[in-house]
A = this chain, B = another copy of it.
Amino acid sequence: MNRTPRTTLKRLPKRGSYDRNVINQILDEGFICHVGFVSDGQPIVIPTGYARVEDELIIHGSQASRMLRNVGKGIQVCVTVTLIDGLVLARSAFHHSMNYRSVVILGNASVVEDREEKIGALLALSEHMIPGRWKDVREPNEAELQQTTVLSLPITEASAKIRTGPPLDDEGDYDLPVWAGVIPLRMVADEPIPDPRLPSEITTPSYVSDYDRRSK
């Protein structure tokens, strides 16, 4: 992992990490990233799904997407993945915080042109979002492949930032009669909602009924 001046954390460096395993773990648990790019001088930030394939971050979308057309030109991008783990309640307003894990990747994306590579990337995206799904679905046909743009961003200039644990109050505030601690937050899956047009004899696969991001 290249630690560059641009990804070197300036503040609270104890919260920063350049460890590839830490970065990969965050990327593999999340599935939504925010892609930042510049268009006519204006920064634009767009949410989208992603997958990690070894040292590459893969995103995809319609060929007609303004974001993908811009980013596919190889311009500089920033991709940020954020997992929120909890609200941190201190005794003072000032020391309230959040527990979170985030990754920032800087670089230049490129279009995946090779047909086999493209299908492999779409499979990876599907399996990253819903492990076990790909074997059941109708795979993309030629027209769909043409309509889909797949971009790859090398994960070389990247850093993670993590906050965990209880609040850290000023020593003099610990005597205040105020509740302090953490409200843990996490994303859960509720009961699946079958498509109204789904025949009743089709049973719910376990990758749907047991969906859990944390089991990644």
Q: How far is it, in angstroms, between the C-alpha of A98 and the C-alpha of B126 when the chains are bound?
A: 12
Tell which of B133, B148, B188 touches A188, judged by Cβ atoms closer than 8 Å: B188
- Binary CB contact string for chain A from 60 to 82 against chain B (1 if under 8 A, 0 otherwise): 00101110000000001111101
Q: How far is it, in angstroms, between the C-alpha of A196 and the C-alpha of B183 when the chains are bound?
A: 14
Distance between A20 CB and nearest chain B CB, rounded to angstroms: 21
Tell which of B32, B181, B189 touches A184, judged by Cβ atoms closer than 8 Å: B189
Q: Which residues of B contact A102 (CB under 8 A)?
A: 47
Tell which of B92, B106, B194 touches A140, judged by Cβ atoms closer than 8 Å: B92
Interface pair A90/B178, CB less than 8 Å apart: no
Interface range for A: 35 or more
A203 within 8 A of B: yes
Tell which of B45, B173, B185 touches A36, judged by Cβ atoms closer than 8 Å: B45
Tell which of B43, B91, B176 touches A76, judged by Cβ atoms closer than 8 Å: B43
Copies in the complex: 2
Known: A122-B93, A137-B93, A197-B174. A191 touches B184 (CB 8 A): yes
Instruction: Please give me the residue from chain B that is nearest to A65 by CB atom.
Output: B11
Q: Which residues in chain A, 79-138, are within 8 Å of chain B measured between CB atoms?
A: 79-80, 82, 84, 86-87, 89-94, 96, 98, 100, 102, 104, 106, 122, 126, 129-130, 133-134, 136-138
Q: Which residues of B contact A197 (CB under 8 A)?
A: 166, 174, 180
> Which 8 pairs from chain A and chain B are nearest by CB?
A36-B45, A36-B43, A34-B34, A47-B82, A184-B190, A45-B80, A181-B194, A180-B195
Most chain-B CB neighbours within 10 Å: which of A46, A139, A194?
A: A46
Interface pair B106/A42, CB less than 8 Å apart: yes
Known: A36-B36, A130-B87. A93 touches B191 (CB 8 A): no
Instruction: Please give me the residue from chain B that is nearest to A96 by CB atom.
Output: B126
Known: A194-B180, A195-B166, A202-B178. A43 touches B43 (CB 8 A): yes
Interface pair A187/B187, CB less than 8 Å apart: yes
Tell which of B45, B93, B184 touches A193, judged by Cβ atoms closer than 8 Å: B184
